[in-house]
Structure 1
Amino acid sequence: MQTGWNENRALLRGVAAAPPVFSHANHGVSYETFPLSVLRLSGQRDTVNVVASRELLAECPAEEGKELEVEGEVRSFNNKSGHGSRLVITLYARALRPGDGEPINDLTLAGVLCKPPVLRRTPLGRDICDLMLAVNRRYGRADYLPCIAWGTLARRCGALEVGDGVRIAGRLQSRGYTKVENGVSYEKTAYEVSVMQLEAVEDA
């Protein structure tokens, strides 16, 4: 996998939907997590989980209801606990500041496709394509990010192959759905990148 052109940049502006709680500690640094609610133009809200160091939160506290602007990267990890989603998507904060202005939900990602695209059609006849994008980090690890495209863009995505390099512009969205296991219904939330623009990237 080429690394020279891999990108992972996110800028979100919204409202803290709950106070931060402890997430984990790594190399002596403690991290907390809180949900950030970002209003769409449609009036719906995307609620994404932000992970920030206690140092960042000390400089810019994330009280519930406070408007915040978060700059960082979309991260993924495998949940092996057996509870909740197997692939957990979060927004890792590199900068945190008070928000002021209209909601923002902008992502730029560049990486390679690690699974064959799945092109399908909704019951109403609209094309939709699911992608899995692998984006390298600096130190050898990669984030595996589910992406979704619609319409003409979905048909373009459906023609891609595993190993193709792409650059995507879009937003990080949350989507509620119902899952039935052993006859019991559970309300769950999926996180994915809604693709607005896509271009091919040649190997560096």
Structure 2
Amino acid sequence: MEQKENRVVLRGTVAGEALFSHRVHNIDFYRFPLAVPRLSGREDLLNILSPLTPEESFLPQKGDFVEVVGEVRSFNNRSGVGNRLVITVLARRLSPGLGEPCNQVFLRGALCKPPILRRTPLGRDICDLLLAVNRRYRRADYLPCIAWGALVLRCGRMETGTPLRVDGRLQSRTYLKTIGEDTQERTAFEISISSLASLDPGTPEAAALF
């Protein structure tokens, strides 16, 4: 079942072999990287988790152009290795891709931390948000979002708990992290916001987020 609060549509090229991840309720899940080009010519390399069932038996090969429809998921990495917050895309529907590359994310959630205003090394103002998006069974995904340009000041004034509708794209970003005397290259994933709207707290749409 697709969640109204959390929907992602991707079309891109499978960038690596699909590898077995785990099994839940006799359903095998496979992971593979998906490369989705940006208009700038760069690529976002996104982690896809796809179930393989008798009804959904399509397992892509490296180099295939595919469409993924699903949800953006998060979980805490307690291993101590790599990022503490791991972001992946759970594929609800996986099929051969038709048309142009696509990267669209649609979220409804609540701001769960105070916004953080900062400036990039190139002098660009940005605002970091963390959105809590409900999942079934009283769980939630905590998804980092980033606002640019005219949205920065507006986002910076928002209060924790504000219900929001966010449209954007899921992007990957590499950075260097220093741990003791070692420097490691890591990859962060975040939703780059293209449009944002505050939801009226009195509406059923906003009430469903709490």
**TM superposition score category, shorter chain reference:** over 0.9
CA contact (8 A) 1:129 1:154 kept: yes
CA contact (8 A) 2:52 2:58 kept: no
Partner of 1:158: 156
The one-letter code matched in structure 2 to 1:200 is: S
Cα distance per residue 1:108-130 (max 9 Å; x no partner): 00100110000122344322000
Partner of 1:133: 131
Cα separation, partners in 2 of 1:123 and 1:176, compared to 1, 3 Å: closer
- 2:97 and 2:119 map into 1 onto residues whose CA distance is 38
Partner of 1:88: 86
Partner of 2:200: 202
**Structure 1 unaligned spans of 5+:** none
Cα separation, partners in 2 of 1:148 and 1:56, compared to 1, 3 Å: farther
Secondary structure at 2:98 match in 1 = coil
Secondary structure at 1:30 match in 2 = strand
Residue 28 of structure 1, CA deviation: 2.5
Secondary structure at 1:116 match in 2 = coil
Partner of 2:72: 74
- 2:82 and 2:175 map into 1 onto residues whose CA distance is 13
The one-letter code matched in structure 2 to 1:172 is: L
Residue 139 of structure 1, CA deviation: 1.5
* Deviating more after overlay: 18-27 vs 67-76: 18-27
CA RMSD, 1 decimal: 1.6
**Structure 2 unaligned spans of 5+:** 205-210
Cα separation, partners in 2 of 1:6 and 1:102, compared to 1, 3 Å: closer
- 2:12 and 2:50 map into 1 onto residues whose CA distance is 15
Partner of 1:52: 50
Secondary structure at 1:155 match in 2 = helix
Is 1:100–2:98 an aligned residue pair? Answer: yes
- 2:22 and 2:192 map into 1 onto residues whose CA distance is 28
- Identity level (%): 54
Equivalent pairs counted in the alignment come to: 200
Cα distance per residue 1:12-36 (max 9 Å; x no partner): 0000001111112222322111000
Residue 138 of structure 1, CA deviation: 1.9
Structure 1 runs (4+) deviating above 4 angstroms are none
